[in-house]
Chain A
Amino acid sequence: AQRVTQPEKLLSVFKGAPVELKCNYSYSGSPELFWYVQYSRQRLQLLLRHISRESIKGFTADLNKGETSFHLKKPFAQEEDSAMYYCALSFSGNTGKLIFGQGTTLQVKP
């Protein structure tokens, strides 16, 4: 069955420290992977997707098909990065269905 796992419920770091939010998935086909972020009192929004291979707000994520992982990284955390982060998987083909991980709360301390 398709599954997305985020092993950490809470990740707490100090400002300026590197951040890595882990995401592992299980899917037999060719997945599309995404990271969504939800800041306090705001709606869920797309942070980045693997097919774009872009860096948004200093965050990057690389799809590792061998390890079935899509970890989110940032070299220097900022306080404004504090939020809930969700890793999500979409199936190949014409569907908008997303399978979400349980989410990781990132807390960046001053």
Chain B
Amino acid sequence: RKEVEQDPGPFNVPEGATVAFNCTYSNSASQSFFWYRQDCRKEPKLLMSVYSSGNEDGRFTAQLNRASQYISLLIRDSKLSDSATYLCVVNNNDYKLSFGAGTTVTVRA
């Protein structure tokens, strides 16, 4: 079983729509959680950290469910510029990060 699993998508949504997707992680001892964004042929960049209580950054909301071992990302009022691959990232009790293979989101006009 992969350490971090994501639905690869693609999620094709119109501008202004809400899109949400999850990722599951296998290690119940995982400590820190992140969503990274990766544009085509570019490096991953941190979108947001995910805190136990859930957190919001503008149109982006991240949630953590430790009991079921998944994290989620919700994008409200989608923009064309939100088209990207979103990587779910998990840290165990060290400095290494484990990456999901990514969920592709395409926002169409």
* Chains A and B bind each other: no
| A residues in contact (CB < 8 Å) with B | none
| B residues in contact (CB < 8 Å) with A | none
